[in-house]
Chains A and B, each alone.
Chain A
Amino acid sequence: MTALAGRVSREARNGLLLVSPTLTYALLLLAAPLALVVLLSFWTQDFLEIHRDLTFENYRVAWTEPIYRALMLRSLKISALVTVFTVILAFPIAYFISFHVPTKRKPLWLFLITIPFWTSYLIRIFLWKVILGFNGVVNGSLVGLGLIDEPLSFILYNQNAVVLTLSHAWVPFAILPIYVALERIDRSLLEAAEDLGDGPVRRFLRVTLPLAMPGVLAAALIVFIPTIGDYVTPRLVGGPNGLMIANMIELQFKKANNAPLGAALAISAMVIVSAISIVFLWLNRRYLAGRGG
């Protein structure tokens, strides 16, 4: 018994020792800086001088001033739309790779899906501007085909353009977790459903989709959380009504010289996004439990 306990604790010690450099790095450069940002959000700044008296003033401004509230709500709306859109776009592709591609070809297909992701991030967003613009690819082809007389103006410099561009950027990240979940489904369960008389639609809704839910959920969170922090896409294709909270955070930290307010906005955004994610996870757990799975 003691020998066993000694070995287990030695194993634990080795494991902790081995992970400690990475953990220390993350503690020093992620946890400590985040803690400092939280602290900063309770300070105030006029021009270049920072006052270190703790106050809720920044949060009062961040949560009550109409401009910040509007930006926050709009960012949440855009992130939510991007998430839904991306997951819907991604699911059939993940399904296709998992169920219709021969095993040997699967890595090649996954590679094909990730290639466009390695185009320069900035240039890729800029190209969407070219595609959606007044003289762009979409308008050019539609006018050329005689489908419209005047170029469409509602496709660039607004929230639709932001949603489309962000969905394009995140869709490979959504395909991968859904694909992994679909791969884990025991194929004999599908046969069983069929043998018991379920048609393809019922089988999909009662077996495939519930079993793929963990992947769908992971995909949704992987897309939803980081999108809230993007400020390049809104700036390039969003126009004045497509700006998001991250543009304001950047403005406060850089040109407006009000880092504490920027910090309060950043922390608020993170708290809201995390809260939504937790509620989402909880609802999913209840949904799966309710199904008896």
Chain B
Amino acid sequence: MRTVGKLTWLHVYLVVFLVFLYAPAVLLPVFAFNSSRVVAFPLSGFTFDWFRLLLDTEPLFDATRNSLIIAVITAVFATILGTFAARASTRYRFPWKKGVMGFVMLPLVLPEIIVGVSLLVVILQLGLNLSLWSIILGHVLICTPFCIAILSASFQGLDRSYEEASHDLGRSHFATFMLITLPLVAPGIIASLLVSFTISLDEFIIAFFLSGTDATLPVYIWGLVRFPQRLPSLMALGTILLVVSLCLLVAAEYVRRLGARRTGTEASGGFL
């Protein structure tokens, strides 16, 4: 009897918690399709106007293009740097390993404002101009730890005997890595690309500090938040972004599981 009682209590809490957790994500599309100009209850009617309005907003397209450029370049660089570190930490023992890995994972817990401020100081002291590249530098720094976490799991699941067989058959280290290792961890690499792309696309604090005249999508959204008449179209934009992010993440999770099956390990854990 007591177990049943305890389970019920936990279930009640679970439902309350999920309502709390999902409240913003559920309300977003509700307001995006609501015809009232005021983002509040009660709802007044159904409309596509706010999505249509987005299509006529020129600066939005510039900001989206900037964000896509930044996110793609960030994803590629962060994944390359992540691959090096993940391979080193799963395959080799080397001196100061704990310290080195702890240091490259540090941006995961460092407040983003610190990363933004410190890069801003360097760029201004060197007399350089703020551009999309300054944002990319910051985003690569904060995305790399996520890539390392994802890729370490892939490299750990790798069966070493395939590589050894390749060596025994006379392949060089480089050829073995390209022909054997890389295809086996490819799903991890794709997952890492997608996750870092998504993080970069949504990052605001660093982008706000390091953007010059070219705004990214979140910086553009920040400018909109202050204008009440733009809020319904902001809800529409948020809905589109949510759907895009979810598609990317489902794709990332799918290929990661595929990879786990290929290397013969059980898929476990999540994105982090």
Mark A residues whose CB is within 8 Å of B.
Answer: 8, 11-16, 18-23, 25-26, 29-34, 36-37, 40, 89, 92-93, 95-96, 100, 106-107, 110-116, 118-124, 126-128, 130-131, 133, 135-137, 140, 168, 171, 173, 176, 200, 221-222, 225-232, 236, 246, 249-250, 253, 259, 262-263, 266, 269-270
Q: Is the CB of B17 within 8 A of A93?
A: yes
Q: Is the interface of A mostly helix, strand, loop or mixed?
A: helix
For residue B25, CB closer than 8 A to chain A, the reply is yes
Contact partner of A100 (CB less than 8 A), chosen from B10, B88, B218, B241, is: B10
Query: How far is B124's CA from A173's CA once the two chains are assembled, in angstroms?
Result: 34
Q: Is the CB of B40 within 8 A of A25?
A: no
Q: Which 6 pairs show the lowest CB-CB distances between chains A and B?
A: A229-B111, A15-B92, A15-B94, A33-B118, A19-B88, A123-B238
Chain B 80-113: CB-based contact to A (< 8 A → 1; otherwise 0): 1110110111011111010011011011111111
- Chain B residues 11 to 28 lying within 8 A of chain A, measured CB to CB, are 13-14, 17-18, 20-25, 27-28
Determine the chain A residues whose CB is within 8 A of the CB of B2 once the complex forms: 200
Determine the chain B residues whose CB is within 8 A of the CB of A140 once the complex forms: 40-42
Determine the chain A residues whose CB is within 8 A of the CB of B115 once the complex forms: 30
Q: Is the CB of B225 within 8 A of A122?
A: yes
Query: How far is B57's CA from A218's CA once the two chains are assembled, in angstroms?
Result: 44
Query: How far is B70's CA from A57's CA once the two chains are assembled, in angstroms?
Result: 39
Contact partner of A221 (CB less than 8 A), chosen from B87, B109, B113, B238, is: B109
For residue B146, CB closer than 8 A to chain A, the reply is no
Determine the chain B residues whose CB is within 8 A of the CB of A246 once the complex forms: 111, 113
Query: How far is B225's CA from A107's CA once the two chains are assembled, in angstroms?
Result: 35
Contact partner of B121 (CB less than 8 A), chosen from A112, A136, A226, A259, is: A259
Taking A11-B92, A122-B222 as contacts, is the C-beta distance between A92 and B238 under 8 angstroms?
A: no
Q: Is the interface of B mostly helix, strand, loop or mixed?
A: helix
What are 16 residue pairs bridging A and B, where the CB atoms are less than 8 Å apart in the complex?
Answer: A11-B93, A15-B92, A18-B87, A30-B118, A107-B267, A114-B272, A115-B249, A119-B238, A119-B241, A121-B218, A130-B27, A133-B40, A135-B40, A229-B111, A230-B113, A246-B111
Determine the chain B residues whose CB is within 8 A of the CB of A26 once the complex forms: 103-104, 106-107, 141, 144
Determine the chain B residues whose CB is within 8 A of the CB of A19 once the complex forms: 84-85, 88-89, 94, 100-101, 104
Interchain pairs with CB closer than 8 A, number: 246
For residue B114, CB closer than 8 A to chain A, the reply is yes
- Chain B residues 219 to 251 lying within 8 A of chain A, measured CB to CB, are 221-222, 225, 231, 234-235, 237-238, 241-242, 245-246, 249
Q: Is the CB of B242 within 8 A of A118?
A: yes
Q: Is the CB of B121 within 8 A of A36?
A: yes
Nearest neighbor of A224 in chain B, beta-carbon distance = B109
Q: Is the CB of A22 within 8 A of B205?
A: no
Determine the chain A residues whose CB is within 8 A of the CB of B186 once the complex forms: none
Q: A19-B104, A22-B81, A226-B111 are in contact. List 13 more A-B contacts (CB 8 A).
A: A12-B93, A12-B95, A19-B85, A25-B81, A33-B118, A106-B268, A107-B253, A111-B271, A123-B28, A168-B21, A222-B108, A227-B111, A259-B121
For residue B213, CB closer than 8 A to chain A, the reply is no
Nearest neighbor of B26 in chain A, beta-carbon distance = A116
For residue B71, CB closer than 8 A to chain A, the reply is no
Q: Is the CB of B119 within 8 A of A123?
A: no
Determine the chain B residues whose CB is within 8 A of the CB of A227 once the complex forms: 111
Q: Is the CB of A15 within 8 A of B97?
A: yes
Taking A107-B268, A137-B27 as contacts, is the C-beta distance between A266 and B113 under 8 angstroms?
A: yes
Chain B 22-66: CB-based contact to A (< 8 A → 1; otherwise 0): 111101100100000011111000000000000000000000000
Query: How far is B90's CA from A14's CA once the two chains are assembled, in angstroms?
Result: 12
Q: Is the CB of B107 within 8 A of A30?
A: yes
Q: Is the CB of A116 within 8 A of B25?
A: yes
For residue B137, CB closer than 8 A to chain A, the reply is yes
Q: Is the CB of B122 within 8 A of A36?
A: yes
Closest Cβ–Cβ distance, residue A17 to chain B (whole Å): 8
Taking A30-B141, A127-B24, A230-B111 as contacts, is the C-beta distance between A253 and B92 under 8 angstroms?
A: no
Nearest neighbor of A126 in chain B, beta-carbon distance = B225
Q: Is the CB of A107 within 8 A of B270?
A: yes
Determine the chain A residues whose CB is within 8 A of the CB of B25 once the complex forms: 115-116, 119, 124
Nearest neighbor of A30 in chain B, beta-carbon distance = B141
For residue B163, CB closer than 8 A to chain A, the reply is no
Determine the chain A residues whose CB is within 8 A of the CB of B202 once the complex forms: 118, 120-121
Q: Is the CB of A25 within 8 A of B111?
A: no
Q: Is the CB of B241 within 8 A of A123?
A: yes
For residue B125, CB closer than 8 A to chain A, the reply is yes
Taking A113-B21, A115-B25 as contacts, is the C-beta distance between A15 and B88 under 8 angstroms?
A: yes
Closest Cβ–Cβ distance, residue B221 to chain A (whole Å): 5
Contact partner of A29 (CB less than 8 A), chosen from B82, B120, B137, is: B137
Query: How far is B51's CA from A257's CA once the two chains are assembled, in angstroms?
Result: 39
Nearest neighbor of A231 in chain B, beta-carbon distance = B113
Q: Is the CB of A114 within 8 A of B114?
A: no
Q: Is the CB of A136 within 8 A of B13?
A: no
